[in-house]
Amino acid sequence: MAYDLVYNSFSAAERKTIEEGAFKPEVDFFTKDLKSWFDLIHNHGVWACAGVGIAGIATNNKHYVDMALYGTEKNGKGGFIAQMDGLFSPDGYYTEGPYYVRYAILPYYLFANALDHAKPELKIFEHRNSILQKALLAGLQQTNTNGTFFPINDALKEKDYTSNELVTAIDIAWKVYGADKGLLTISKKQDKVLLSKGGASIAAAIATAKNIPTLYPYKTIEFTDGNKGDEGGVSLLRNGTGNKLSTLIYKYTSHGLSHGHFDKLNINLFDKGNEILTDYGSARFIGVEQKYGGRYLPENKEYASQTIAHNTIVVDESSQFNGDEKVAEKFHAEKLFSSITSDAVQVVAAKEDNAYKNVHLQRTLYMLQLPDGRKIIADIFNAVSATEHQYDLPFQYNGNLISTNFKYAAHTKAQETLGTKNGYQFLWKEAEAMVKNNLAQFTFLNNRTYYSVSSLLQDSAQLFFTRTGANDPNFNLRREPAYIIRKKGTSQSFINVVEIHGSFDPIMEYSSDAYTAVQSIKLLHNDDDITIAAIIIAGKELLIAQCNKDFKAQSKHTFKNITWTGPYTVLYNETRLQ
């Protein structure tokens, strides 16, 4: 908005012509014709308020500024302040997810910056304990080592923190919140700055700084969701340094407005800069006219946002909340406990009771670094129901299938779809197996690392290898594989161990630790109160004992010869991992 720069060179009559002829119709359109949209607590509303507010500041129009700050009714139910209060959790998580905070952060920072000049008494950048700083830093923590935002909800996977919105936000943040070494790393990769005090200052800092780290200072971190921080959240469990960083994303948020996916209790895994257990992100070729005008493709709702496109349980081939956004918006998952202070054991438990009627879903994830260096994710996912259901747990994986320890029937001459609705119609069934009372193991290779999923299959289970691309006449979907575990019954437990192991070097032609070290998984006990699993890894026992209801830190528990205090214990070779 450059009107302020030329303001003084206009006569009062000229100003009136411009302000009444150009700005007023636009502001009226936003605040009258689109009144309810303007007052929405949604990223579109942020853009609208920023526009009207900045126009108000540039034209000394208090009415505009007040509507922008407090909504068309100026009662604070809409407007910028309500948007700052409503769309972020207290720790800065943006309810639509990281891809959309990347988008919304531009009007947030631009209008806040204008307000900071025009109405410094508002102390807008300090509002809500500096929520805009928290929002920026939370967004940056939710990126891969290559700078792309984690593909939570509708998200284009290519989008990274070099986008213009982040250039603006970071340069302003540098000025208002002070120097921050992590921002230097990003600004350097952005390779451009704003022509502003913040931009000049960060450019000068880059020019003189020595040894700017190549990676943002990523850490294990958890965010709550909901403006009070009481609507679930997301945990980013990290392990490893530099380019060897592994990140397990565990999502138990609220729905995330219109761009939310039906993916409660979903996990994703990034390792060494690659997405390993994947989220499809959004189905969209942004700005490509031939592809539905560059908008979200129909497959975005029909596939990408459905539960089966994720890594969480699908009950009875239907999506969570029956795929109804309005219903989904009313609920959120709930974190039960977490412990993230030790590299050896990071653990998060969460539950979801509303996604499927009369089915209680509870998933506890352990990201473990064993004393011998092995990286193991133990995943205890209980579906509890009094009635019979079909439960599908997909692992969307990125890589080449290397081996399985079970026999399967491959559909080699003709292929059909896995199902007919709720996203299943997009999956070709490449192979399937029926496994009884066994440990099913599946190893794949991504780039230079092996990954194995070891699954305890009590009684019987069906296994599927699928690939997207069915019912896709316009070739709108990428062809991506998944490994799906299907169980039927009332309550069912999915005990899976994901191991990151070995290395493959196609240039030096060697392969090491290409086999998973997991030898067996046993569920020693599982009821509403306690789950105990024993996993044999390279001859040593990893024993996990967890509470499913009592998460108090001081509670003491005993089961047979195992005793522990608090919600869980992890023993490796009979010694507590901590």
378 binds a copy of itself (CB under 8 A): no
Stretch that binds a copy of itself, among 27-35, 134-142, 239-247, 510-518 (CB under 8 A): 510-518
Structure tokens at 436: 């009884």
DSSP secondary structure of 475-541:
--S---EEEEEEEEESSEEEEEEEEEE-EEETTTTEEES-S--EEEEEEEEESSSEEEEEEEETTEE
CB of 180 to a copy of itself, least distance (A): 22
400 binds a copy of itself (CB under 8 A): yes
Structure tokens at 120: 């410094």
Structure tokens at 172: 């302003």
Q: Which is nearer to a copy of itself, 50 or 297 (CB)?
A: 297
Q: Report the residue from 289, 341, 553, 560 that binds a copy of itself according to the rule CB under 8 A.
A: 289
Choice among 64, 100, 296, 572 that is catalytic:
100
146 binds a copy of itself (CB under 8 A): no
Q: Report the residue from 343, 416, 459, 528 that binds a copy of itself according to the rule CB under 8 A.
A: 416
Distance in angstroms (rounded) separating the CA atoms of residues 440 and 456 = 7
User: What region, left, alpha or beta, does residue 556 occupy, with left being phi > 0 and alpha being psi -120 to 50 degrees?
Assistant: beta
Chain-centre distance of CA 508, in angstroms? 36
Pairing of strands 314-315, 274-277: unpaired
Distance in angstroms (rounded) separating the CA atoms of residues 367 and 378 = 7
CB of 279 to a copy of itself, least distance (A): 17
How many C-beta neighbours within 10 Å does residue 243 have? Answer: 11
Q: Which is nearer to a copy of itself, 110 or 495 (CB)?
A: 110
Residue for token pair 């689109």 = 34
Stretch that binds a copy of itself, among 73-81, 228-236, 286-294, 302-310 (CB under 8 A): 286-294
CB of 470 to a copy of itself, least distance (A): 6
Stretch that binds a copy of itself, among 115-123, 317-325, 465-473, 527-535 (CB under 8 A): 465-473
Q: Which is nearer to a copy of itself, 114 or 431 (CB)?
A: 431
What lies within 8 Å, CB to CB, of 154 at 6+ separation is 99, 100, 259, 260, 261, 281, 282, 284, 296, 300, 304, 305
Distance in angstroms (rounded) separating the CA atoms of residues 71 and 68 = 6
Residue 432 corresponds to which amino acid?
E
Distance in angstroms (rounded) separating the CA atoms of residues 444 and 450 = 6
36 binds a copy of itself (CB under 8 A): no
428 binds a copy of itself (CB under 8 A): yes
Q: Evaluate whether 172 touches 197 at the Cβ level (below 8 Å).
A: no
Q: Report the residue from 504, 564, 568, 572 that binds a copy of itself according to the rule CB under 8 A.
A: 504
Q: Report the residue from 117, 210, 326, 413 that binds a copy of itself according to the rule CB under 8 A.
A: 413
Q: Evaluate whether 262 touches 153 at the Cβ level (below 8 Å).
A: no
351 binds a copy of itself (CB under 8 A): no
Residues of span 441-460 touching a copy of itself by CB under 8 A: 443, 445
Q: Report the residue from 203, 402, 536, 562 that binds a copy of itself according to the rule CB under 8 A.
A: 402
Q: Which is nearer to a copy of itself, 22 or 410 (CB)?
A: 410
Q: Report the residue from 1, 401, 433, 434 that binds a copy of itself according to the rule CB under 8 A.
A: 401
Q: Pattern 513-532, binding to a copy of itself, x per CB under 8 A? A: -xx-----------------
Stretch that binds a copy of itself, among 120-128, 364-372, 471-479, 487-495 (CB under 8 A): 471-479
Which residue in 100, 107, 4, 94 sits closest to 50, CA to CA?
107
Stretch that binds a copy of itself, among 176-184, 236-244, 467-475, 567-575 (CB under 8 A): 467-475
Distance in angstroms (rounded) separating the CA atoms of residues 501 and 515 = 8
Residue for token pair 């997207």 = 468
473 binds a copy of itself (CB under 8 A): yes
Helix/strand/coil for 565: strand
CB of 330 to a copy of itself, least distance (A): 33
Distance in angstroms (rounded) separating the CA atoms of residues 276 and 562 = 35
Total residues interacting with a copy of itself, rule: CB under 8 A: 51
214 binds a copy of itself (CB under 8 A): no
Q: Which is nearer to a copy of itself, 71 or 151 (CB)?
A: 151
Q: Which is nearer to a copy of itself, 94 or 450 (CB)?
A: 450
Give the H or E element holding residue 427. Answer: strand 427-446
| Active site annotation includes 100 | yes
Q: Report the residue from 36, 121, 195, 475 that binds a copy of itself according to the rule CB under 8 A.
A: 475
86 binds a copy of itself (CB under 8 A): no
Structure tokens at 395: 């692992």
Name 191's bridge partners. none
Q: Which is nearer to a copy of itself, 23 or 47 (CB)?
A: 47
Give the H or E element holding residue 364. Answer: strand 360-369
User: What region, left, alpha or beta, does residue 489 occupy, with left being phi > 0 and alpha being psi -120 to 50 degrees?
Assistant: left
Q: Provide the 8-state DSSP code for 227.
A: T
CB of 237 to a copy of itself, least distance (A): 28
Stretch that binds a copy of itself, among 50-58, 126-134, 399-407, 566-574 (CB under 8 A): 399-407
CB of 203 to a copy of itself, least distance (A): 20
CA angle 13, 19, 21 (to 5 degrees): 90
Q: Report the residue from 470, 518, 535, 542 that binds a copy of itself according to the rule CB under 8 A.
A: 470
Q: Evaluate whether 54 touches 110 at the Cβ level (below 8 Å).
A: yes
Phi, psi of 19 (to 5 degrees): -70, -35
410 binds a copy of itself (CB under 8 A): yes
Stretch that binds a copy of itself, among 19-27, 162-170, 195-203, 206-214 (CB under 8 A): 162-170
Q: Which is nearer to a copy of itself, 301 or 540 (CB)?
A: 301
Angle between helical axes of 98-118 and 62-70 (0-180°, round to 10): 150
**Residue numbers at the binding site for a copy of itself (CB under 8 A):** 156, 158-160, 162-164, 285-291, 294, 400-403, 410, 412-417, 428, 430-431, 443, 445, 465, 467, 469-475, 478-479, 504, 506-511, 514-515
Catalytic site positions: 100, 259
